[in-house]
Structure formats: structure tokens, C-alpha cells
Structure 1
């Protein structure tokens, strides 16, 4: 979840809404990669989730990173709720999941170094206080009642509202984790093509990164329960967005869509004002019940854009949102997958040629099948295993064409970050399949083994 945004001054013209999005356009040489990943913390002796406060807690981890690794504090209501350093942020998800929102970096070598450094720092603090962190798409054992709620005003408002608009919103908040990558665009035309490819191929990422086959102590019948959760959260702000494939799609169309998404809050002077279910259109007219007579700023618009949760999202960049949180290697594989597809024009064009004839029903069916069956998904004549092989091949070609060396020139490009995905395609098994093999095999149904064997 996002921290409060700093978008700008008063909104005086409707056109500013789309112009805000358009201001994200960058020349190719300025394109960057921002990787975000979440992870669950737990006490090593009890295997229970971390509370916010206490000797073994999220707060203790944040303080350790602040005091021992040079991070500056972010507070809300006098409580430490995040950290920042060098363009990166560490923030808290509603149930205490710890998130790194990485700095915008030029290469996957750099973003993977950032991930590795972050996990090493977290491990340094965790070892000292007896806690651990694990990367999974959904909490494998913990119940709703066992999960804490972090002391952030945004989450308190969302928690109450989620019960009114779907059945799984509170589950999403407390018991799921993701890995995402944020990528740039050069123009409206470039944004449109990237969004269409991102949404159409998001089910391939869902399948390749599926890593949540357990929930409340047993197999749940899905390769990624996290993806299933997102399908019953809030239809007004989630999904595969068929309108993105309309001829009229662009920045203005996204702004109009966002205006119709019900609000959560307005952030003013450190306080979240309850605007649940209210209309940003009314806000523009000075008729918002939460703040009568007030009109929004671009910061309010930027905040509102962070409350929209489709499978791919436009802000001043594009967020790829379909993947489960996962093991160390796959945290670097996700940016490699999408950078290879999006940052080389030939790969992007080939990806669009692959998906351009799919209709909305096909795209949604692929999303559902990927959640349930992973690489074994089949939708009509489309075989997910075959499709994933083609798409990873396009990503690999795109990374080769980028030719961004690492390790002081010793590594010629970024293609090796795709190795975990290539291994999955070769074996036909993703992380969820491996977990299920353990559960039904050497773990003998003892799911507590997952903590010892799969933590960072």
C-alpha cells in the first residue's frame, strides 16, 4: 500500500487530471525500474505473526533498520510506520507485511542488488530479535483473528469498507503478499500498448509466480490463492479492465475511469478523513460530504490513484500487479520478465501481436485458470505452459537486445535473471507445485515445515 502522495497544487481544470498522468512520459534513456515486494514476518519459536509493538515486532524491525542501517523514519500519529533512504521506502501493509518499494534504477542488476541488500539487512535485524520473514502469496496457516492491524489511518478506513463491497478484501489486507515492478512509458501511444500487453499477459505472470497453494493450514485448491482473493475484493476498483482495449483508450479515459472509482479518504495535515464510497467528481465541485466546500489538489488525485487495484495500473508509470510474493530468486525474475517485454520495442510489438486478437472473455478466463491451475491452465486452444514458454522467450530476446551488462562488465546482459522462470517452464512446475510436492511428500502434511525451509 502507498504512502501519502505529493502530487501538487490545486486542481483548477478538469484537464489537469489526465495531464498529471501524461507528465510521467519520459524519453527512453530516462526509463527506470522500480521493484516492490512484500513479506510476512513471524516469531521463530511460536511461528505466529508479528505484532506491531513489542520486543519481537514490526516496530522492532523498523527501529533496527533505522538505527543500524541508515534509514530515516516516517511517522503517522506519533508512530513509526515506515522508512526512507535514497529514493526507496520501507512500508507496512495492513497485516504487518513488510514492503520494500525500491528506488527507480536503470538495470535489473541494480534492482536485484537492492533487493539482496535489503533482505540481508532485514535478516541482520531479525536474527538479533528471533524473528523470520518468508515470501509467499498468502499466509499459509494464520487465521484472520491472528493477524494484527497496523496503526495507519488509511487501513482503519479500508478495513471497515472492505466488508461492504466484497467478501475477501480483509483477507487481501492481512494475509496476502505480492511482488510488483513499476515501469515507464515515453508517450500516450507507448502507455496504451504497454497497458494492453500488461493486462493481457498478467495471467502468464500469475501462473509463473504462483506461490500460495495453502490457506489456514491446508491446500486450498488453487496454485495462487492470492489471485483468487483479488477476484472478490471490490469490483469497482479491480480486474482486467476491458475498456483499456477500446480504440478511445488513453490518459483521459484512465482519468474518467478513476473518477468513477469510489473514494476511500482525503489526507490532510497528517489525518485521513473518511470519504468512503464518496465521489471524486463531487470533490471537484466542492461538494464532497467529507470536506464540504473544499476542492482537491493534485496530491489528493495522486492519493486517489493509489486506491485503484486492477491487474495493471497507470499512475505516472505502469505497475504490474499480478504476481505472488515469493522466494529470493523470483523477486529478481519479475522485473526481468516485464522489462524484457516492455523496454525493447521488438519484444513489445511481438507481445502485442501475440495477444491482440484475444477478447475480454479470453483474458478473464486465462486469469481464472492461471489462479487455479498455474502452468497447467488451458483456455480453449491456449495452453498456459506453451504460452509461458513463448512469452519468456520474448522477454529473453528483449533483455538480450537491451544488452545491459552487470558485475563490472563480466555479465553481458540481464537474461540470467529469467533462469528461475526457464526452469519452471522446463519442469512444468512453479513454486506452488514444489510446495505441494513437499506437503504431500517429505513434509507429511506438516505445513509448519514451510517456515524453516522457505524463509529468507
Structure 2
């Protein structure tokens, strides 16, 4: 999850909220790719999740990365809770999953180099202390009680609030992992088109990257249990944001949506102040109960925007949020998929043509069906397998048009990063299908076999 934002002065008028988002507009030559991915850590001998402290722990992994690989530490309340290096940071999810928030890079080649270096560094430390890491969308057999809550003020507040809204917020916090990509836009109109394509095709990402068919030691009846969890988290801040398809959508309409999202906190002097369920509109008027008489800064607004969790989210850039955590070889496929769709105008137009006829019922239906059936989903005559095939084809054409070479010019473009998705298109099987085949076959119903066969 996001780290505290900084650098914003006082908000003196409402227009600054939309202007904050608009300040992210960039000419095409400055568009970048930011990839984030989370993974579960565990003790190799017990297959239990890592505690925060101890010889085999989250703290030990972070300390090893700091000492051996040149990362600078980030502390909260005196505890080591993150790392920084250049424009990258490593942070902790509420249940201890390790997240890399990568630097904004120009090509998928660079993104994949970054992923490979990061995982090599993590495994260098992990192998030495008897720790493993695995990319899955949901913890396969750990219970809520198995998962320690990390010592971060934001998570303590969220954990309390999640118990009052929805039914699965605490499950999301502790026992799910994702991979996502952050992409730029050129203008308000470009943001609108990209957001509409992003939300409408997010179910395709859910299906192609579905990788969480197990929960609490059993097959759970879903290809992506993680996606199922997000459907019962908090209706005020999740979902398919249908208003983005209405006439007139733009920065200001997103501002109005974000203002209606109940607050979690205000960050002051290194501490999280409880503002659970309070209104940012009241904060703007100096009437926030948590800080009476005080008005927000742009940093407060930036923080608040990170507490909305729809399937795609716009801030100064757009976040694609639908995919499960995945195996190493598929981590570069997600940014490749979205970059191919979003960073070439012909491809973006083709993607919009593919989905512009969907109504809200179809979009939501595809989201639900993708979590259950993966590529076998079908809603209102739309077959997910066909939709995914067309989307991957469009993405491939966009990457060809980008023509960003790698390996010193030996590789002409970025299309080979889609190979893992093409295999799914060709076979009709996504990672969850492969896991279920093992579960029903050579694993003899033992989900813990996933650790030996699929860890990084």
C-alpha cells in the first residue's frame, strides 16, 4: 500500500484538487511505466508466514537488503518498515507481504531488469536465513490468526475500520497480493479514454492473471479469490466506478468521487491521526472532528486519494489494480499488456472500440465471472476467452508500434513479454487452472505443495 505523501502546500481553493491531478499530464515522450508487485514471505521449514521480528522475519529480510544491497531504511515508530533506493521503495503490506514499488521507467525491458534484480536481491537474503517468497493472489492455507499485522499506524486504523464495513477487508489486508502497473496520460481527454478502457478491460486482467484458487487449505471455487475478496471490502471505495463512463467525466468528477470516500487518517509529524469515516469535505471547511479548525494540505489530499480502491484508480497517473500476484515469469507480462493497450493511440482506440458497447451490468458481470471462471467466463454473450484474445492482439500491435528495442537492439520490441499471456490464450488455462490440476492430481489435495513447486 501507499506510503505517506509529502511536498504539498495548503489547499486554498477547491480547484487545486483537480489541478493536482492535472499536474500529472505529460507529453508522450515523458510517459513512463511504474510496476508494483507483492509477494508472500514464509519460513521454509514450517511454511508459516514471516513474523515481523526475529532471526527469520520481515525485519531480517529488510535489514539484509539494507546492509548487503545498498538500500536506505525507512522507519516508523522506531521500527524498520521499509527501504528506499533511488526512485524505488520497498514497503510492507498489512500482513507482511513485501512490495516493490518500482521506478518510473521507459520500457518493459527496463521494468523486467528491475524486477529480476529485486527478486535476486530478495532471494539472496532469503536463502541465507531459511525464508521463501511466493507470488500468489491469496495465502493458500494461512488463517487470519497466522498473519501478523505490521507495526504501521495506517494499518492499525484501517484494520479497525475494516471490521465495520464489508466482510472481507481484513482478509484483503493480510492474505492477498497483487501486481499492478502505473501509467501516464497526456491530457484530461487522454485520461478519460484510458480510464474507461482500463476499467472495462480490468476483468480481462483478473482472468488472465487469476492465481488464487486456494484459501485456508482448500479449493475455494474461484480462479481469483483475491478478486472475490475485493467485492466485499467496502462499497464506498471499491468497484467498477460506473460514473467514469458518463458524459462529462474528467478530473473534477473524480474529485467529487474521492471527496465522498470516507477518510481513514491524517498524517502529521510521523503519526497517523484517526479520521475514520470522517469527511474530507468537512476537512476542507475546517470542520474535521479529528483536527478542528485545521484545513488540509495537498499532501493530505494525495494521501486521501490513496484510500480509494477501485479496479483502476487515477491520481497523477493511472493504476491498473485487477491482477493477482503471479509467478516470476509473468510479472513483466502485466505492464506489457497495459502498455501495449495504452501507449499507442491506434491500439487505445481499438481497445475502446472493443468495450465501448458494454453497459454497466456487463462490465460488473464480467468482473464477477472472471474471478470465478477465469477465461471460461461468459456474460451477456461476451466470452472472456474471446475478449482476452482480442485484447492481447491489440496490446501486441501497440507494442510493435512502440518499437522499443532491448538487449542493445537485438530484440526489436517488447512483444515477447506477452508470451505468457499468449500461452493462456492458446490453451485456455491461466495460472489458477494449472494449480488446480496439480491439486487434483499429483498434490493429492495438499495445497502446501504449492510452496515447493512455485516459490521464487
Show CA shifts across 1:66-98 (max 9, x none): 000000111111111100111001000000000
Structure 1 residue runs of 5 or longer lacking an equivalent are none
Taking the aligned partners of 1:200 and 1:72, their CA distance within structure 2 comes to 39
Show CA shifts across 1:385-444 (max 9, x none): 111100000000000000000000000000000000000010010000000000001111
1:10 lines up with 2:10 in the alignment: yes
Alignment match, 2:203: 203
Tell me if the contact between 1:7 and 1:301 (Cα under 8 Å) persists in the aligned partners: no
Taking the aligned partners of 2:11 and 2:152, their CA distance within structure 1 comes to 27
Q: Matches of residues 240-259 of structure 1 in structure 2 within 5 Å?
A: 240-259=240-259
Query: TM (normalized to structure 2)?
Result: 1.00
Show CA shifts across 1:160-188 (max 9, x none): 00011110000000000000000000000
1:358 lines up with 2:371 in the alignment: no
Taking the aligned partners of 2:447 and 2:154, their CA distance within structure 1 comes to 33
Q: RMSD in angstroms over aligned alpha carbons?
A: 0.5
Tell me if the contact between 1:7 and 1:302 (Cα under 8 Å) persists in the aligned partners: no
Alignment match, 2:376: 376
Alignment match, 1:81: 81
Show CA shifts across 1:328-359 (max 9, x none): 11100000000000000000000001111111
Taking the aligned partners of 2:325 and 2:40, their CA distance within structure 1 comes to 9
Show CA shifts across 1:266-320 (max 9, x none): 0000010000000000000110000011100000000000001000000100000
Alignment match, 2:139: 139
Alignment match, 2:392: 392
Alignment match, 2:409: 409
Alignment match, 1:300: 300
Alignment match, 1:344: 344
Show CA shifts across 1:109-150 (max 9, x none): 000000000000000000110000000000000000000000
Alignment match, 1:275: 275
Taking the aligned partners of 1:381 and 1:358, their CA distance within structure 2 comes to 11
Taking the aligned partners of 2:10 and 2:25, their CA distance within structure 1 comes to 21
Q: Matches of residues 406-445 of structure 1 in structure 2 within 5 Å?
A: 406-445=406-445
Alignment match, 1:235: 235
SS at match of 1:324: coil
Q: CA deviation at 1:447?
A: 1.3
Q: Matches of residues 61-72 of structure 1 in structure 2 within 5 Å?
A: 61-72=61-72
Alignment match, 1:105: 105
Taking the aligned partners of 1:7 and 1:164, their CA distance within structure 2 comes to 32
Alignment match, 1:163: 163
Taking the aligned partners of 2:127 and 2:355, their CA distance within structure 1 comes to 46
Show CA shifts across 1:16-74 (max 9, x none): 00000000000000000000000000000000000000000000000000000000111
Tell me if the contact between 1:185 and 1:317 (Cα under 8 Å) persists in the aligned partners: yes
Taking the aligned partners of 1:29 and 1:18, their CA distance within structure 2 comes to 23
Taking the aligned partners of 1:209 and 1:100, their CA distance within structure 2 comes to 18
Count of residues paired in the alignment: 456
Alignment match, 2:152: 152
Q: CA deviation at 1:375?
A: 0.3
Q: Matches of residues 39-50 of structure 1 in structure 2 within 5 Å?
A: 39-50=39-50
Q: CA deviation at 1:100?
A: 0.2
1:34 lines up with 2:34 in the alignment: yes
Tell me if the contact between 1:351 and 1:391 (Cα under 8 Å) persists in the aligned partners: yes
Alignment match, 1:53: 53
Alignment match, 1:182: 182
Taking the aligned partners of 1:6 and 1:200, their CA distance within structure 2 comes to 32
Alignment match, 1:124: 124
Query: TM (normalized to structure 1)?
Result: 1.00
